[in-house]
Structure 1
Amino acid sequence: MKVDEIEEAIIRFTQNGIPLTTSPFKDLAESLGLSEEEIVERIKGMQEKGIIRRFGASIGHRDIGIVANAMCIWNVPDEHVEEIGNIMASFAEVTHCYERPRRPGWDYNLFTMVHSYTRADCEIVADRISQVTGIKDYRLLFSEREFKKTGVRL
């Protein structure tokens, strides 16, 4: 899909994060000789055309002290995955909840991601989930290192 110069400038400006201010598009608008309202309208138009699929926010959780990240892996009876998965996903501490196929030698089929300030906090959350769901066969796999996550860039 072809973009014009203004659309390209908007993409380049937004792809690395939008300033956390009351007027995040002001500098960009001024540099392009446009108003902030025109920038916002262009962004809406780019979304309608499918040039921009979504705007999302992500918090640098390590930057705010959330350094314990646990992938909780669960052995859930297949016939109860939907029900148990919905319960697990309802916990505020769970940011992701996925069903995955079992593999030879790997009994775990439901995965939840929990972020917290300490490993002990993650263990407490997993224990609460276990108590509520009755699923006792689980493990916590803690992140050792974070690799930078980025979206598509121009």
Structure 2
Amino acid sequence: MAEHRTTNGNHENNAINELDKKIICALQGDFPLVAEPYKVLAEKAGVSEELFLERVKAMEEEKKIRKMGAVLRHREVGFSSNVLVAWKVDPERLDEVAKQMAASPSVSHCYDRTTAPDWPYNLYTMVHGHSREECERIVAGLAAKTGVEERAMLYTKREWKKVSMKYFQES
């Protein structure tokens, strides 16, 4: 497939073609739990596994696909409690602390955000546990490990929506 580039290396036409739309649609559903999952997804998109993987890699390189990941349905796997923890981290330590927290198996999300005058927290983690007490212990452990003490803990009261975005789907 030919690629259009300007002299500075940027894509002149970064539009997503019909084949790539089919591949993106195939990637959006449940991941097949079989020996050759990409073969199943390629069949769903109507292409060979080799072409499917080739296009996925190309779309990642072209920044058309930013990430692929799993969605944890925490209640279905036995985690009855979770808490969003907003941490106040020294900006010079943000990357170091984020890497330490993200390495915890109890943390499913870890990301930084801009602070506000009345909200000084710049790092957020989603912690899952079997009880509120377990979440408290995990968070205390993260604080001890990183030396970051100032935090706000926001427990989930009710989950309103948990679905991934669907692109190129008919309404």
TM-score normalised by L of structure 1:
0.71
Can you give the 5+ residue segments of structure 1 that lack an aligned partner in the other structure? none
Q: 1:69 aligns with which of 59, 65, 82?
A: 82
CA RMSD, 1 decimal: 3.1
Q: For each residue in 1:24-45, what CA deviation from the matched residue of structure 2 results, as whole angstroms up to 9, or x when unmatched?
A: 2334544666432232223223
What displacement does 1:16 show? 2.0
Q: 1:19 aligns with which of 32, 35, 43?
A: 32
Counterpart contact for 1:100–1:109, Cα < 8 Å: yes
Q: 2:22 aligns with which of 9, 15, 24?
A: 9
Are 2:54 and 1:41 equivalent residues in the alignment? Answer: yes
The alignment-based identity, stated in percent, is: 32
Could you tell me which amino acid in structure 2 is paired with residue 142 of structure 1?
Y
Counterpart contact for 2:79–2:128, Cα < 8 Å: yes
Match of 1:116 in 2: 129
Match of 1:86 in 2: 96
- Separation in 2 of the partners of 1:30 and 1:107? 49
Larger mean Cα displacement after TM superposition, 124-133 or 113-122: 124-133
- Separation in 2 of the partners of 1:11 and 1:83? 37
Larger mean Cα displacement after TM superposition, 66-75 or 10-19: 66-75
- Separation in 2 of the partners of 1:119 and 1:127? 12
TM-score normalised by L of structure 2:
0.65
Task: Decide whether aligned partners of structure 1 residues 136 and 44 sit closer, same or farther in structure 2, where only a CA change above 3 A counts.
Answer: closer
Task: Decide whether aligned partners of structure 1 residues 136 and 20 sit closer, same or farther in structure 2, where only a CA change above 3 A counts.
Answer: same
Counterpart contact for 1:97–1:113, Cα < 8 Å: no
Q: For each residue in 1:81-140, what CA deviation from the matched residue of structure 2 results, as whole angstroms up to 9, or x when unmatched?
A: 433773365131343143542433x56555432122211111012222344455555442
* Matched residue count: 149
- Separation in 2 of the partners of 1:31 and 1:108? 44
Q: 1:126 aligns with which of 136, 139, 157?
A: 139
